[in-house]
Amino acid sequence: LQVLTVATAPYPDQRPCSGGLRRRVGVFQGRRHYLHNFLQSVFSCIDLRDRQGCTVVVGGDGRFFNRTAMEVVVQMAAANGVGRLIVGCHGLMSTPAVSCAVRKYKAMGGIVLTASHRPGGPQGDFGVKFNSANGGPAQEGVTNKIYQICRTLEEFTICPGLRVDLGTLGRQEFDLENKFKPFTVEMVDSVESYANLLRNIFDFAALKELLSGEHRIRIRVDAMSGVMGPYVRRILCEELGAPAKSAVNCVPLEDFGGRRPDPNLTYAADLVDSMQDGRYDLGAAFDGDGDRNMILGRHGVFVTPSDSLAVIAANIFCIPYFQHTGVRGFARSMPTSAAVDKVAKATKIDLYETPVGWRFFGNLMDAGRLSLCGEESFGTGGDHIREKDGLWSVLAWLSILATRRQSVDDIVKDHWRKYGRNYYTRYDYKDVDLDAACELMEDLEMLLTDKSFVGQRFAVADNIYQVEQADNFEYTDPVDSTITRNQGLRIMFTNGSRIIYRLSGTGGVGATIRVYIDSYEKEDIFQDTQVMLAPLATIALKISQLHVRTGRSGPSMIT
Ligand code: VG1
Ligand code: CO
């Protein structure tokens, strides 16, 4: 097969964010070699010596353009000297399963064709995530290098005649011109290695008893027409015995059936509705690529992701894996509520507070300092892989239910009784004018880093909040001492409440401003979240003048 070098012109806008490169499908389709350029930069970023003959894992969430892009990945990997590609059959493999496979096959890295929880279809989004040899999102040094190459790229190499059969399991070999060894593609069952990993983490016999035994509980799991369908069917239904009808939307669709594969109360409203009548004891949903999860209790009671992390932490020994490894540390991203901090304190386990994005957790895990972590954005996971893991989180909850034999609701309430409750909400303002958003953040930073800001009091009705500390969050990696700056503006009050402002790093058009509000209550733990947080929300808007400056009258979304 012929290897071609094709001249191209660079795109200045291909800076990868924490979730890789995400754009409208039209951008990938309409701009000449847009995907090729990015992939070439990813391959070029791997040192030539490391790249020759190496193994790379490729997966995807099945969204529109997945197949086309998969063919390009294979043709370019071959031309760039990769020796072996491990590909999920039909081009499907979840982000956690890719992380698992990278580690299992000792691959140089992994590529996931996904835009995660973003909408799919011809009018939707497409994306490319790139993971390093540890199975986790590439560190900033790597993504910077990719971006640097993107901006000056003049050519890419490709093997246009290479035709891979995505539908047949097994090895396919291709002879390339001027190469001694054949290029191999191994089409693997997307679920198998991942299921095997889970079997060694959880007590499958106990989970099977819980889901299909005499005193079984009933669950409803929504795969949101993303990549998780096959995983849910094989692991939860076939292996653990949950009835087939408890799993819905399990066929991956290119447009996710017209819905957003985003597991929250807004986009998984169907799941919430179907749980209202109390028929199901636990509900769960995933995003397109299967790394995010939402957990619901009977009647659709919502477990916030921050609480989910704290509850798993407090019950961590319900999971056999942690009985064997012990618990090395807990971590959360900075905007995630401080609920897990209370568990860490009570159990005298180290707690790390990192910037948003999973790559910071990966570094701590590689150094043996972290076992369990999570983010408020519906992500929880352990150190079995280097990505957040949706199905792992559901099995973690099922393990807690199997051990404690209580309802989800009772487990969460007991948790609050013991540790107190962090009321938590996030406001998102989407598609804000980029300049307006940046100016707002700059002015806000000036305001809150001024000496006079600390000590200021803000009052709404009878509630008074006094500023204890305010800053622009900066993180020094405890393992390699890398400093990551500018990770969100924080206002911390004397009563432990926090307001955080941050610009999304994964956004599409314009900017997305996120406002995170976290407030701790020791006693008053059974109130409505929005009611409890209303005074702080008022203060957050007042300090930032967010509505005036963006011309909005309210958030685009509240989670
Ligand atoms: C968002 C979330 C963040 C998450 C990231 C990738 O980033 O807030 O917690 O790690 O998405 O998730 P941002 O910068 O838009 O706030 V995934 O499931 O898209 O890989
Ligand atoms: Co995702």
Domain boundaries in the chain? Answer: 4-188, 194-419, 421-558
Question: Using a 6 Å cutoff on CB, does residue 99 contact ligand 1?
Answer: no
- Residue 319, pLDDT > 70, answer yes
What is the CA(461)–ligand 1 centre distance, in A?
Answer: 35
Q: Which atom of ligand 1 is nearest to the CA of 20?
A: 20
- Residue 289, pLDDT > 80, answer yes
Q: Which atom of ligand 1 is nearest to the CA of 376?
A: 9
Question: Using a 6 Å cutoff on CB, does residue 117 contact ligand 1?
Answer: yes
In tens, the pLDDT along 433-480 reads 888 899 999 999 999 999 899 999 998 888 889 999 999 999 999 999
Mean predicted lDDT score pLDDT of the chain: 95
Structure tokens at 386: 């280097």
pLDDT of residue 243: 95
Question: Using a 6 Å cutoff on CB, does residue 559 contact ligand 1?
Answer: no
Catalytic residue among 41, 94, 99, 116: 116
Question: Using a 6 Å cutoff on CB, does residue 291 contact ligand 1?
Answer: yes
pLDDT of residue 425: 96
Q: What mean pLDDT do residues 367-394 have?
A: 98
- Is there a shared CATH topology between the 194-419 domain and the 421-558 domain? no
Distance CA 173, CA 159 (A): 14
Q: Which atom of ligand 1 is nearest to the CA of 118?
A: 19
Rounded to two decimals, what is the model's pTM?
0.94
Nearest CA to ligand 1 atom 12: 19
Question: Using a 6 Å cutoff on CB, does residue 94 contact ligand 1?
Answer: no
Tell me how crowded residue 163 is: count the other CB atoms within 10 A of its CB.
Answer: 12
- Residue 489, pLDDT > 90, answer yes
pLDDT of residue 19: 73
What is the CA(554)–ligand 2 centre distance, in A?
Answer: 26
pLDDT of residue 371: 98
Strand 55-60 versus strand 155-158 pairing type: unpaired
Q: Which atom of ligand 1 is nearest to the CA of 378?
A: 9
Distance CA 58, CA 169 (A): 14
Nearest CA to ligand 1 atom 4: 357
pLDDT of residue 178: 81
Which residues, chain by chain, have CB under 5 Å from ion ligand 2? 116, 287, 289, 291-292
Question: Using a 6 Å cutoff on CB, does residue 389 contact ligand 1?
Answer: no
pLDDT of residue 461: 83
pLDDT band of residue 507 (cuts 50, 70, 90) is low
CB distance 86 to 57 below 8 Å: yes
Task: Provide the CATH number for the domain formed by 194-419 in this structure.
Answer: 3.40.120.10
User: Which CATH number, 3.40.50.720, 3.20.20.70, 3.40.640.10, 3.30.310.50, labels domain 421-558?
Assistant: 3.30.310.50
pLDDT of residue 257: 96
Closest by Cα among 298, 415, 380 to 371: 380
Closest by Cα among 397, 415, 412, 384 to 211: 397
Q: What mean pLDDT do residues 306-326 have?
A: 97
Question: Using a 6 Å cutoff on CB, does residue 415 contact ligand 1?
Answer: no
Tell me how crowded residue 543 is: count the other CB atoms within 10 A of its CB.
Answer: 20
Task: Provide the CATH number for the domain formed by 4-188 in this structure.
Answer: 3.40.120.10
Tell me how crowded residue 542 is: count the other CB atoms within 10 A of its CB.
Answer: 13
In tens, the pLDDT along 68-115 reads 999 999 999 999 999 999 999 999 999 999 999 999 999 999 999 999
Nearest CA to ligand 1 atom 6: 19
Structure tokens at 415: 């948790």
Active site residue 116: yes
Element (H, E) at 314: helix 305-314
> How many CA atoms, within 13 angstroms, populate the side-chain half-sphere of residue 426?
22
Classify the complex by whether its ipTM is higher than 0.90, answering yes or no: yes
In tens, the pLDDT along 6-44 reads 999 999 899 888 778 999 999 999 999 999 999 999 999
